[in-house]
Structure 1
Amino acid sequence: MFWLLPPLALVFSSPGNTASQDSSKPLTVNGVLGEAVTLSLKPPVPTGIQSTTWLHDGNSIAFILPKAAPDSHFFVTDPERKDRLQLAENYSLRLSNLTAADAGHYCAQMTIQTSREFSCYTLQVFRRLRNIQTASHTWLSETGTCEIHLTCFVENSKDTFVRWQVVGNTSVNEANLTISWDSRNSGEQEFTCIAENPVSNISLSVSTQRLCEAVLSTKNQPDTKWIITVVVVILMCTVITVGLFVWRKKDCLWRTGIFHFSTPQTQSPAETIRNIDYVSVSPGNTVYAHVTHPNRQTSSPTLVKSSDFSTIYSTVHQSKESKPISSRTTALNNVI
């Protein structure tokens, strides 16, 4: 292993010869989170390279000895990346399964006899964009146009540029967009939300007709609230009118003092007394009663021999001291 010491000494020493460095102009490389990236040496690759050291933010992560045996010419000096660093063509470095911590400044320090050259990179790690969504709010203006407010957003929006592409390939470089669409004068229009980052881009289109369908259908439909209100008012008026009519009719019957009691035709003699119509009650003591006999043949003897009249007029004299005589009892006595 002692034969490795001279090349390693070149890595950590600073020879007096001028070194050709490209570190002032690093090349930007974009990587995808969870995927792989290759840091390729800038062409032309120098000849006669004795060793190459790869650095990440100034720390050694890999060491290459081109003239060593194939199984011992590549060493990973960063234990945390031992399984993720591989040697690529022309001393390039391949880094797999990228993480956010892999971003930063990388340099390949190449030792060529008595000089050193550098090939530097700036690695950026991004997520692939996915799950783009739009949110909309629509309302109907007083002039009958459909007003639409659109908002576009994506997951992991860090370092993401969002814009809207409208009619005529015009772009609005922001996530929010407010438009006014008149279905009477304009046809269907599409608006496309585009989200981009250095490693991916996605888009989603929305239609003005689909967005405004709900508010426009509401405009063309009758107002159900007014219909329900009118129906309820009509029903209430009908109920009140019928109630007043019935109440006034009953009130009139009570005021005139007319009552009617009827019994079935098959009545016993004792129940015949109930078939009385109280025609009127005079202010005096005279009560006129009309007695109705059932129209059927009976074996009872006729009470009135001289005539066939079925009407009996009864005069009831009441004194102030005596108890009131029931009109039903008086009528019964007269019948008997």
Structure 2
Amino acid sequence: MTEAPRVDTGRRRPPAPVCPAVMLYLLLPLALVSCLGPGNTASQASSTPLMVNGTLGESVTFPLKLPISEDTHSITWLYNGTSITFIQLSDPSDPQIILTNPKRKDRLQFTRNYSLQLSNLTMADAGSYHAQITTQNSTVFSSYKLRIFRPLRNLEVANHTWRSENGTCEIHLTCSVENMNDDNLVRWEVAGSISIREANLTLSWDPKNSSEEKYTCIAENPVSQLSFSVSTQSLCKDFLNDESIGTLWIALVTIILICPVIVLLVVWRKKYCLCKRGIFHFSAQQTQTSGELVDS
């Protein structure tokens, strides 16, 4: 089977269309080179990126400060080195905003001074952001580091309480929280001042010699904080109830034992008094009879 001969009609296929966003991305470096001609400089606004903390599912703003001494021609926002938006300010009354990252176009907004606002944050949004501000004589970069955190939920305090041999209430507390990771801090606060940076806490409380104490578990990360408080009296209530019941039983047994004794004493005293009165009465009668016999 032979291949059919190709016929040259003399026509050439038209070039493939070029996406405007791709054209803009290719032209941006050329524009930057032209701006940085003789006498122009490029400077870094800050060698240390500004740390920006965001909450998963919420919004965050990258604050931008424009140069005051000269007019701004354009602003380019970049994420991890890739352009996400280009703002042309040749005519300040009619700024041209071109979104170069279609995946984020519905989540990007700008303030009056062109600070970037990113909404509906995802964990994939974390990373490095840069603002490239181009003026007539210079180009300034502002750097940011975005960190995304999940809000803390469901703080729980588990306790195990027992009575020691010397009569004190021994307490073991464990504090836990949902979405726990290395960026979260769990600590115990005692009486509003002393802080213990541990999730587990063991303590001993003597209700006879100590007043009630309050312990607060605090879990926090850069975007949220939760707390839960417990008191020694509430934790040792079963222990205190046992003591109260024991004291009540002792008092009851004492009353049961003392009451018959008191009754016996009362009865004995009454009988003693009656006997004493009877003997005195008999003696008086006997004396009177003897006197009468003598007289006769």
What's the TM-score once normalised by structure 2's chain length? 0.67
- Which residue is 1:152 aligned to? 175
Count of aligned positions: 221
Q: Does 1:105 align with 2:128?
A: yes
8 Å CA contact 1:36–1:95 kept in 2: the answer is yes
How many angstroms apart in 1 are the aligned matches of 2:184 and 2:201?
17
- Which residue is 2:274 aligned to? none
CA drift of 1:13 comes to: 7.1
What's the TM-score once normalised by structure 1's chain length? 0.60
8 Å CA contact 1:149–1:176 kept in 2: the answer is yes
Q: Does 1:206 align with 2:214?
A: no
How many angstroms apart in 1 are the aligned matches of 2:68 and 2:99?
22
Q: 1:92 to 1:100 in 2, by over 3 A?
A: same
CA drift of 1:151 comes to: 1.0
Unaligned runs of 5+ in 1: 223-336
- SS of residue paired to 2:57: coil
- Which residue is 1:141 aligned to? 164
8 Å CA contact 1:11–1:53 kept in 2: the answer is no
CA drift of 1:217 comes to: 2.8
User: Which residue, out of 177, 184, 187, partners 1:163?
Assistant: 187
- Which residue is 2:216 aligned to? 192
- SS of residue paired to 1:214: helix
Q: 1:70 to 1:112 in 2, by over 3 A?
A: closer
How many angstroms apart in 2 are the aligned matches of 1:126 and 1:101?
11
- CA offsets per residue over residues 68-93 of structure 1, 9 Å max, x none? 58777111111111100012221211
- Which residue is 2:30 aligned to? 9
CA drift of 1:160 comes to: 1.0
- Which residue is 1:173 aligned to? 197
Cα RMSD (Å) of the superposition?
2.7
Letter in 1 for 2:30: A
How many angstroms apart in 2 are the aligned matches of 1:12 and 1:200?
44
- CA offsets per residue over residues 169-197 of structure 1, 9 Å max, x none? 11111111111011111122110111111
How many angstroms apart in 1 are the aligned matches of 2:72 and 2:60?
24
Q: 1:43 to 1:15 in 2, by over 3 A?
A: closer
- Which residue is 1:183 aligned to? 207
Q: Does 1:94 align with 2:107?
A: no
CA drift of 1:129 comes to: 2.1
How many angstroms apart in 1 are the aligned matches of 2:66 and 2:36?
24
Unaligned runs of 5+ in 2: 1-19, 247-296
Among the aligned pairs, what percent are the same residue?
56
How many angstroms apart in 2 are the aligned matches of 1:32 and 1:44?
30
Letter in 1 for 2:219: A
CA drift of 1:105 comes to: 0.9
- Which residue is 1:53 aligned to? 76
Report which stretch shifted further, 42-51 or 155-164.
42-51
- Which residue is 1:119 aligned to? 142
How many angstroms apart in 1 are the aligned matches of 2:126 and 2:68?
24
- CA offsets per residue over residues 295-334 of structure 1, 9 Å max, x none? xxxxxxxxxxxxxxxxxxxxxxxxxxxxxxxxxxxxxxxx
How many angstroms apart in 2 are the aligned matches of 1:182 and 1:117?
65
8 Å CA contact 1:74–1:87 kept in 2: the answer is no
Letter in 1 for 2:64: L
CA drift of 1:211 comes to: 0.8
8 Å CA contact 2:77–2:132 kept in 1: the answer is yes
8 Å CA contact 1:29–1:121 kept in 2: the answer is yes
Query: Which has the larger strand fraction?
Result: 2
Letter in 1 for 2:231: S
Q: 1:100 to 1:217 in 2, by over 3 A?
A: same
How many angstroms apart in 1 are the aligned matches of 2:163 and 2:229?
22
8 Å CA contact 1:10–1:111 kept in 2: the answer is no
